[in-house]
């Protein structure tokens, strides 16, 4: 049998099908040699299926003049092949003659193994030459992708295992398969592995710190009612740099008393190995934090034989102190009540409620609650305020009284207009006079200074020198406001 082998350039588009021929089912495939001989037919003849159980199931458009395959298909969606060499031949069959083509293609498994080895070797050589450089995708288009398949590719592109998506990426860059995740769990494994690597680096920095490791922590309830304890470490590195790292966000599913919080903190200390370097704690003034520090001190003694003075190592959050000072300024008139314990705080809350009903702040609070308690009233007010809403004070949100006052003063015309247009018995006693608005303006001006001080001491700026300056500034503001109030009275 005489054969003439030659190669040709593969067409770039699935166009002008009349210029091509489709090979039909007559023919044979030699699996050992990787050669498939088929008979030339007309466009639209039957596809060649089976191929003795190999991966290649059909052969599409072929240029008979140039001897080039345009594409292979494994199934109806996924392109797996590229242009292959065709060999022109003459043969005899049953005494007759016919024109045919012999198609040389590698056995699917051996071709895949060879391709993977080649890609890995190229990646290794590239990594040696450019250890920090990632290969860019090739923006030069190669063989065409069937436009009819783009919809399926687009819909499923986020699936790591989608054969359509992987085929599209390989079409853009034949080496991209090296970096693709194998399964939907691969990305998760990558993230976990990277986290563990970075965690070990932080552990080494903490253990080699030149200072003690100080902790700031707080318990926060998320909108979906999860209780999250955040733990942040602060320390000085070997080169004298101040570092901050979030060590844990722990879900507290038990009671939020001090003993359970202490157990959670001890787990973090054991996980990061810095019990011997434990420094000070910065927390808010919640009563359960006192219990937590005592339980923590006992736990350190039992587990690590470390004597840790709970009261000495507890620091109060400066922002929370400013917030308490603002509340005392607004509502407390008896200095002795500031020194009471939790039972005294309950009595203070009763005084606050009574005071709210009498003063301008109490009237404003009652009006905001009255409006927000009803959808109809809220809609009425938004008509007057041009869709702007009132803000409500909140006991757990810092500077909430300042936020409420600022919003109310900006909506003064709408508030006065509501009382003029709708007189209702529930809020008739809360109408604000001109003198009330003057008081609210003065209070807002004072609270604004406290809010600015709180913002200045947030994040990593709350060093001791700044805190002392802030305390002096606030003390001066309180003294000046007290003199101003006495002068008015």
My answer on whether 291 and 409 are in the same domain is no
CB-CB contact of 401 with 330 (8 Å): yes
Q: Shortest CA distance to 60 belongs to which of 19, 14, 99, 27?
A: 14
Query: Are 308 and 326 found together in one domain?
Result: no
Burial of 222 (0-12, 13-18, 19+ CB in 10 A): exposed
Single out the residue of 390, 386, 397 nearest to residue 427, CA to CA: 390
Token representation of residue 256: 């939020």
pTM: 0.56
Q: What is the pLDDT confidence band of residue 340, given thresholds at 50, 70 and 90?
A: very low
**Do 467 and 394 sit in the same domain of this protein?**
yes
Torsion sign across C-alpha atoms 88, 90, 93, 96: positive
- Give me the number of domains the chain comprises: 3
- Spatial separation of the C-alpha atoms in residues 326 and 450, rounded to whole Å: 7
Q: Distance between CA 48 and CA 89 in Å, rounded?
A: 19
pLDDT in tens, 36-46: 444 333 333 33
Supply the Cα-derived Rg of the chain in whole angstroms.
38
Backbone angles phi, psi at 162, to 5 degrees: -65, 120
Residue 375 neighbours by CB distance under 10 Å: 8
The residue that leads in pLDDT, 351 or 121, is 121
Residues 265 and 391 occupy one common structural domain = no
68 and 32 part of one domain: yes
Q: Check residue 250 and give its pLDDT.
A: 93
Same domain as 17, residue 82? yes
Lowest mean pLDDT among 58-72, 353-367, 418-432: 58-72
Mark which of 105, 139, 173 sits at the end of a domain.
105
Across 283-287, 302-306, 349-353, least confident range: 349-353
Q: Helices (DSSP H) in 241-286: which residue ranges?
A: 258-272
Residue 153 is predicted with a pLDDT of 54
**Secondary structure letter of residue 397 according to DSSP:** S
Residue 53 and residue 75: Cα distance in Å, rounded? 13
16: left (phi over 0), alpha (psi -120 to 50) or beta: left
What's the half-sphere exposure (Cβ side, CA atoms, 13 Å) at 432? 30
Closest CA relative to residue 393, chosen from 377, 405, 411, 381:
405
Domain residues for the domain of 256 are 192-316
Would you place residue 445 in the very low, low, confident or very high pLDDT band (cuts 50, 70, 90)?
very high
Q: What percent of the chain has pLDDT over 70?
A: 61
Asked if residue 340 belongs to a domain, the reply is: yes
Q: Beta strand 213-221 with 278-283: parallel, antiparallel or unpaired?
A: parallel
Query: Does residue 253 have a pLDDT over 80?
Result: yes
Does residue 170 belong to any structural domain of this protein? no
Q: Which of 9-23, 207-221, 348-362 has the lowest mean pLDDT?
A: 9-23
Judged on CB neighbours under 10 Å (0-12, 13-18, 19+), 327 is middle
Q: Dihedral through CA 17, CA 21, CA 25, CA 28, nearest 10?
A: -140
CA 93 vs. chain centroid, Å, equals 68
Start-to-end CA distance of the chain, whole Å, equals: 119
Span 86-101, pLDDT tens digits: 444 333 333 333 333 4
Residues 365 and 275 in one domain: no
Is position 412 within any domain?
Answer: yes
Q: Which of helix, strand or coil describes residue 40?
A: strand
Cα separation of 139 and 42, whole Å?
35
Q: Say if residue 355 is in the same domain as residue 247.
A: no
């Amino acid at each position: 049998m005489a054969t003439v082998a030659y190669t040709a350039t593969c067409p770039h588009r699935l166009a002008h099908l009349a210029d091509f021929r489709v090979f039909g089912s007559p023919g044979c495939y030699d699996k050992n040699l990787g050669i498939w001989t088929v008979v030339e037919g007309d466009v639209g003849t039957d596809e060649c299926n089976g191929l003795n159980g190999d991966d290649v199931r059909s052969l599409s458009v072929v240029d008979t003049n140039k001897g080039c395959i345009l594409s292979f298909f494994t199934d109806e969606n996924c392109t797996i092949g590229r242009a292959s060499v065709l060999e022109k031949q003459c043969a005899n069959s049953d005494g007759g003659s016919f024109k045919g083509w012999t198609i040389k293609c590698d056995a699917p498994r051996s071709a895949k193994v060879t391709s993977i080895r080649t890609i890995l070797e190229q990646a290794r050589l590239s990594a040696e030459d450019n250890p920090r450089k990632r290969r860019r995708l090739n923006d030069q288009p190669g063989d065409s992708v069937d436009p009819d398949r783009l919809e399926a590719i687009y819909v499923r592109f986020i699936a790591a295992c989608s054969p359509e998506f992987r085929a599209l990426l390989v079409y853009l860059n034949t080496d991209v398969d090296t970096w693709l995740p194998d399964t939907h769990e691969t990305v998760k494994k990558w993230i976990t592995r990277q986290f563990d690597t970075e965690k070990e680096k932080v552990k080494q920095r903490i253990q080699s710190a030149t200072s003690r490791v100080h902790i700031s922590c707080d318990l926060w309830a998320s909108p979906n009612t999860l209780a999250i304890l955040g733990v942040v470490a602060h320390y000085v590195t070997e080169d004298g740099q101040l570092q901050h790292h979030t060590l844990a966000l722990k879900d507290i599913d038990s009671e939020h008393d001090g003993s359970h919080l202490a157990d959670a903190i001890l787990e973090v200390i054991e996980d990061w190995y810095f019990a011997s370097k434990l420094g000070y704690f910065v927390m808010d003034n919640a009563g359960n934090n006192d219990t937590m520090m005592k339980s923590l001190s006992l736990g350190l003694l039992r587990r690590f034989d470390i004597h840790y003075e709970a009261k000495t190592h507890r620091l109060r959050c400066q922002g929370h102190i400013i917030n308490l000072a603002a509340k005392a300024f607004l509502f407390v008139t008896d200095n002795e009540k500031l020194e009471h314990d939790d039972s005294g705080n309950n009595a203070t809350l009763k005084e606050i409620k009574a005071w709210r009903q009498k003063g301008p702040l109490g009237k404003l609070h009652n009006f905001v609650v009255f409006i927000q308690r009803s959808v109809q009233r809220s809609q009425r007010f938004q008509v007057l305020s041009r869709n702007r809403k009132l803000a409500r004070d909140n006991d757990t949100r810092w500077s909430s009284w300042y936020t409420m006052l600022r919003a109310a003063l900006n909506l003064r015309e709408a508030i006065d207009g509501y009382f003029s247009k709708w007189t209702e018995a529930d809020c008739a006693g809360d109408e604000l006079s001109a003198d009330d608005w003057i008081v609210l303006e003065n209070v807002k001006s004072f609270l604004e200074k406290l809010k600015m001080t709180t913002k200045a001491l947030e994040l990593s700026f709350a060093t001791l020198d700044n805190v002392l300056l802030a305390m002096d500034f606030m003390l001066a503001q309180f003294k000046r406001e007290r003199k101003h109030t006495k002068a008015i009275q």
